[in-house]
Amino acid sequence: MNTKSMTVSEVSTRANVVPEVVRYYSRIDLIKPKVNQKNGYKLYDKNDVSRIKFIRKAKTLGFTLKEIKKILSHATSGTSPCPIVRQIIETRIEENRQHLNDMLALQSTMEKALQQWRELPDGIPTQDTICVLIETFAQDN
């Protein structure tokens, strides 16, 4: 190993994550600790700490764990992950733009509904109606 072996607790402290994050990343093979043959404990090194920090930074940029695993696979095989990173981010930016546009449209519709509803009296549910506000909402205003 590159440095002395560390326990889950030591790695989590150095990587500034809770121990369960270290265990989870180990379970899904984002990090691959060595196993102590005597007691079965997983042993980590400074590369695992660096990798966890990388994973956390990638998550702050919106990458999923599945995407991060793919990025790490490219890096481990010696090929640059940069092209796939750019492609993922470009796709994510477009998805975010569309989501923002959808949210803005929803916000506008909600504001129109509230404006209409301020002028309507409260309705009592009947066999034919549940909420007069929703049922009479005219979206074309």
Q: Look up the pTM and report it.
A: 0.75
Q: Judge if 46 and 86 occupy the same domain.
A: no
Q: Judge if 49 and 90 occupy the same domain.
A: no
**7-43: burial string, b at 16+ Cβ within 10 Å, e else:** ebebbbebbebeeebbbebbeeebbebeeeeeeeebb
pLDDT digits (tens, 9 = 90+) for 8-47: 999 999 999 999 999 999 999 999 999 888 888 889 999 9
pLDDT digits (tens, 9 = 90+) for 82-130: 999 999 999 999 999 999 999 999 999 999 999 989 988 888 888 888 9
Which amino acid is located at 37 in the chain? Q
Cα Dmax for the chain: 76
Domain that holds residue 50: 1-63
Q: Supply the angle between the helices 8-15 and 46-60 in degrees, to the nearest 10.
A: 50
Does residue 9 sit within a domain?
yes
Count of the separate structural domains present in the chain = 2
CA distance 101 to 104: 5
Does residue 52 sit within a domain?
yes
Does residue 87 sit within a domain?
yes
